[in-house]
Structure 1
Amino acid sequence: MSNYKWSTPEQLRSLLCEVVSWDSISHTEGERRFPFKLQQKLLENDYFKEHPDYLSLHEADFGRHLVTALYKHPEATETVVLISHFDTVQTEEYGDLEGLAFHPELLTKELLKRKSDLNEEAQIDLESGEFLFGRGTMDMKMGLVLHMSTIEKAISEEWPINLVLVTVPDEEVNSSGMRAAVKVLVALRNQYKLSYKLFLNGEPSLTQKPGDENYYIYSGTIGKIMPAALFYGKETHVGEPLKGMTANYIASFMTQLMEWNPLFCESDRGESTPLPVSLQQKDLKLQYSTQTPYRAVALYNVFMMKRTAQDIMNLFEQVALEAANRCNESYKTICALAGIKPIGEVKVIRYQELLEYAKKKLNPEQVEKLLNDVFANGEWDEREKSLRAADELLIRCPELAPAMVLLFAPPYYPAVNSSENALIKESIQLVKNAALKDFGMEVQQIHYFNGLCDLSYVNYQDASDGWTTFEQNTPTWGSVYTIPFQEMSELQAPVLNVGPFGKDPHQITERVHVKSAFLETPKLIENLIKNLYAAKATL
């Protein structure tokens, strides 16, 4: 074992603390520096000095890069892809301990002095000495560290199977790192004649409820999509309210029907998607005045299992038509009581319909300039740009108002599931048997990882071309935001997620279980991959 640097529990703990110390909060300079530090770390293994082409940085966006490290056995074609992300969420919640957020050993010791500030479960875990606290310890730099250890073992022991370690930025925001990695993985496959056998992610085992101590592995990942709406009424003075219609009034009917609507709930294999909620609702007035707000927007979070973007837009439109009908009926009643004529009826329009209408009314060149001006705004993120694009068009087509414009805003995570795949069934049983035999530990399978992960961008299957509805109704599509659907569909191999047990991602009490991270999960991953080629050798 003397040649191994990342193998023993002590070595893995040290490596994790080093990697966590390279702060890499999404959209910061630390995230941009991280892949270069990781590249230097991987170069400590002579294999990558001898094969420099196997270790590469690839551009994602905004000066960020993803890293790929290939272990290529001279006679193997079958390949396991090890997927992780290295960005983390922010650390403001640590307060005066923020300076220790990326130093797990120091933070854990300091939290012991302040344990009364933590919830009861976190206190118990802290006092047990069985957890290491810190931002990124569980989500998900331990997953990356496990993959570094795995590829080191494969190199040293010359495993007769290929491994591709790929670790990406931006998973916590838009997954632009993984979306860029898809094309890289297709290129690597073609360049080195690889045959992808398994996409193995290392996201942590998440608790299903407070106090949950079970260890889970995942044979798929839940999908997420964000239907959004622009509400456009008619402006008026507050002294003459019925001469107009506020956008907030229209929006209230839609949000009332979207929040917790069971129409969007899916169930599969005994698991269900969380109900939809609104993630944002606001009017677009930039300053206070006595003019009523006549433009407003809202974002809604919808999880998916088997549905496509087309399915969700159809359901969203169904809800919007009901909301518009209720709004119109309520408004007519108010106008009748006041003895005035209504200004009109709220209509429901898809973004693609608005876009075509605007191109005919104005001209395609003018519309393109309007949209490009929106997309060039450095103050707005992808979601704001999507909403503002619809707003710019409808401002110039007020004859369509009052109206709800339906669209999609980024990001979009397709659901992926490999529960029925024979290799996955065999692999899960192997992990369960090994965990019980070696550690006396029970492993449970979950069919959909419920924390969202980068596995959404591999093994894409959609016979109905349901993604075209997403392309047509996402204003930022093709300029600010894209998804490589074609390349994703080329990466046809089953998915599995095996990672360390931890608790409280994105909280001050984020922590990883020491034994799970440094002893149990490394062995489970090693057994899993060795079985892939051992089974073949016995045929």
Structure 2
Amino acid sequence: MKKLKWNTPEQLRSLLCELVSWDSQTHTEGERTFPIKLEEKLLELDYYQQHPNYLSLHDVDHGRKFVSAFYKHPEATETIVLISHFDTVQTEEYGDLQPLAFQPELLTKELYERRHDLKEDVRRDLESGEFLFGRGTMDMKMGLVLHMSLIEKAISEDWPINLVLITVPDEEVNSAGMRAAVEVLTSLRNEYGLTYKLFLNGEPSFTQKPGDLKYYIYSGSIGKIMPAALFYGKETHVGEPLKGMTANYMASYLTQLMEWNPLFRETDRGEDTPLPVSLQQKDLKLQYSTQTPYRTVALYNVFLMKRTASDVMNLFEQVAKEAADKCNKDYQALCAREQIDAIGEVRVMRYQELLDYAKNKLGHEQVEQLIQEVLNNEEWDERDKSLKVADHLMIRCKELAPSIILLFAPPYYPAVNSSDDTLVQETIELMKTVSLEEFGVQVNQIHYFNGLSDLSYVNYQDEGEGWTAFEQNTPIWGNAYTIPFKEMAELQAPVLNIGPFGLDAHQISERLHITSAFVHTPVLLERVIKNMFQNEEEKLKLTTV
């Protein structure tokens, strides 16, 4: 048997440091070059030189690509998909240590020299020697390393099961990589007659609260959606404030009702979604002037467990109408006090209603031209473009003002959960037993991964058309942003997230637990997969007796 390259703790650590050194911050050149380097790395395995069609780069967007690496057993149809992402968040918080952010060994040593300047828990972990620091060590290049090790071992030992490694860009922003991978996964299934048995992600174990040192695995992933609003008032000069209505005044009513609103909280299996908060609120004035701000936008973060996009839009509209009623009541009282005529009543409209109105007034061709003008602006991201489309339409339909236009802005992560699946339940029990007996570490199950993950784009369970409200009310839908809902629904297999323990993702103190990453988790993952095909072999023996 050929000696393995990515098997021992030392080999895994070396591979991790190499992958981390390939700076792949989201929306940088490094993110574009990372998959090319990874393909070259995987080609070090003879298997992919002999089967070059099993290793591929696939286009995503903006020059970015994702990698698929297929281990195909000649007689197997059962297939496990290994999912990871290789992009990382930015590194500005490292300050003068930024050049070392992607050099884990050097960064860990330098931080040790500065340990007295760090928080007590970080300093304690540094002094223990049990953690490796660096951007991407925890979130989540170690997950990719573990999957590469599994592929190599499957090849070496001729495992009677198929593995598909998928590693993608852009998870930290819009999950464009995973959304593109859905089509490849459906194509692979059809071409090779595969039966997907499990979608296994490698995101790390996150703490549930400060000071939490428990090890978690996840049988689902929380969802996220972003209701947004364009507030369109009436402009005036600050010297004549009662001749208009500021959009900021209107926005204040909705934001007050959206922030921490328990109406949006969901509870499932004893776990709660975090309460909604505003992620952005700003007026659209390009420069300072004494003209009052009459166009304002806001984004609100809402987490999901069971609700669909349609459910959330219905709730959002309900809250927006309550906000408009309060705003109108207070405004009417103001008009009575100041003895002036009102400029109108604030109305609430969904984006779909605005779009239909604009097409009827301006014509389909002019509306499409307005939308295309926004889409062509490369300086705006997907959220900006969504809000700008609504703004451009309202500028030409200002007779609808004052109005609150409700819409969705990307990204959208549907919730996914497999806690009731028999295979997942058996796997979790196996992990609990192995981890406790061999390592003395307790495994704890969480039903919804609270950090968001690419598992949201497989095993889609909406039996109705709960996504239609998203399609209808996302201004850039079908152009700058799409979700393959129908294809996602075809990828029916349970989900599970098993990764190493780490702390402080997206912080200067991001760190990976060395023993968990290089000793415990590799053993657990190997046991999990071997148990699956060994169970199948036992079933086969029973049916042939």
Same structural fold, with TM-score higher than 0.5 when normalized by the shorter chain:
yes
> Which SS does the other structure have where 2:263 is aligned?
helix
1:538 deviates by 1.3
| Alignment correspondent of 1:403 | 403
| Alignment correspondent of 2:517 | 517
> Which SS does the other structure have where 1:483 is aligned?
coil
1:170 deviates by 0.3
For the pair 1:253 / 2:241, whether they are aligned, the reply is: no
- Separation in 2, partners of 1:363, 1:429: 61
- Separation in 1, partners of 2:209, 2:282: 32
- Separation in 2, partners of 1:43, 1:451: 32
Correspondences of 1:356-505 after superposition (within 5 Å):
356-505=356-505
Correspondences of 1:131-530 after superposition (within 5 Å):
131-530=131-530
**Deviation digits for residues 390-415 of structure 1 (CA, Å, limit 9, x no counterpart):** 00001111111100000000000000
- Separation in 2, partners of 1:433, 1:28: 43
For the pair 1:123 / 2:115, whether they are aligned, the reply is: no
- Separation in 2, partners of 1:41, 1:55: 11
Correspondences of 1:25-174 after superposition (within 5 Å):
25-174=25-174
- Separation in 2, partners of 1:135, 1:90: 8
What is the letter of the counterpart of residue 302 of structure 2?
A: V
What is the letter of the counterpart of residue 245 of structure 1?
A: M
CA contact (8 A) 2:2 2:156 kept: no
**Deviation digits for residues 337-357 of structure 1 (CA, Å, limit 9, x no counterpart):** 001111110000000000000
- Separation in 1, partners of 2:340, 2:132: 67
1:193 deviates by 1.3
TM-score, normalized by length of structure 1?
A: 0.99
What is the letter of the counterpart of residue 438 of structure 1?
A: E
- Separation in 2, partners of 1:99, 1:106: 10
What is the letter of the counterpart of residue 465 of structure 2?
A: D
CA contact (8 A) 2:131 2:513 kept: yes
What is the letter of the counterpart of residue 311 of structure 1?
A: D
| Alignment correspondent of 2:543 | none
- Separation in 1, partners of 2:400, 2:276: 28
> Which SS does the other structure have where 1:493 is aligned?
coil
Q: CA RMSD in A?
A: 0.6
> Which SS does the other structure have where 1:538 is aligned?
helix
- Separation in 2, partners of 1:140, 1:244: 51
> Which SS does the other structure have where 2:449 is aligned?
coil
1:381 deviates by 0.3
- Separation in 2, partners of 1:522, 1:173: 28
- Separation in 2, partners of 1:286, 1:237: 16
What is the letter of the counterpart of residue 233 of structure 1?
A: G
What is the letter of the counterpart of residue 427 of structure 1?
A: T
1:2 deviates by 6.0
What is the letter of the counterpart of residue 452 of structure 2?
A: L
- Separation in 1, partners of 2:267, 2:225: 16
- Separation in 1, partners of 2:275, 2:10: 43
- Separation in 2, partners of 1:103, 1:204: 20
- Separation in 2, partners of 1:383, 1:166: 27
What is the letter of the counterpart of residue 34 of structure 1?
A: F
- Separation in 1, partners of 2:72, 2:379: 44
What is the letter of the counterpart of residue 446 of structure 2?
A: I
What is the letter of the counterpart of residue 399 of structure 1?
A: E
- Separation in 2, partners of 1:359, 1:339: 38
- Separation in 2, partners of 1:380, 1:246: 24
CA contact (8 A) 2:79 2:161 kept: yes
> Which SS does the other structure have where 1:159 is aligned?
coil
Flag structure 2 segments of 5+ consecutive residues without an equivalent: 540-545
- Separation in 1, partners of 2:294, 2:23: 43
1:464 deviates by 1.8
> Which SS does the other structure have where 1:224 is aligned?
strand
After the TM superposition, which parts of structure 1 deviate over 6 Å for at least 4 consecutive aligned residues?
none
What is the letter of the counterpart of residue 159 of structure 2?
A: W
1:116 deviates by 1.6
| Alignment correspondent of 1:5 | 5
- Separation in 2, partners of 1:289, 1:471: 37
- Separation in 2, partners of 1:340, 1:305: 48
**Deviation digits for residues 312-340 of structure 1 (CA, Å, limit 9, x no counterpart):** 00000000000000000011111100011
What is the letter of the counterpart of residue 511 of structure 1?
A: R
> Which SS does the other structure have where 1:20 is aligned?
helix
Total equivalences in the alignment? 539
What is the letter of the counterpart of residue 191 of structure 1?
A: E
- Separation in 1, partners of 2:62, 2:148: 26
- Separation in 2, partners of 1:288, 1:102: 41
**Deviation digits for residues 158-189 of structure 1 (CA, Å, limit 9, x no counterpart):** 00000000000000010000000000111111
- Separation in 1, partners of 2:117, 2:487: 48
What is the letter of the counterpart of residue 30 of structure 2?
A: G
What is the letter of the counterpart of residue 428 of structure 2?
A: I
- Separation in 2, partners of 1:215, 1:278: 31
Flag structure 1 segments of 5+ consecutive residues without an equivalent: none
1:264 deviates by 0.3
**Deviation digits for residues 80-115 of structure 1 (CA, Å, limit 9, x no counterpart):** 000000000001100000000000000000000001
- Separation in 1, partners of 2:533, 2:260: 46
**Deviation digits for residues 205-254 of structure 1 (CA, Å, limit 9, x no counterpart):** 00111111100000000000000000001011111111110000000000
- Separation in 1, partners of 2:34, 2:235: 50
What is the letter of the counterpart of residue 442 of structure 1?
A: Q
- Separation in 2, partners of 1:260, 1:204: 28
- Separation in 1, partners of 2:296, 2:495: 40
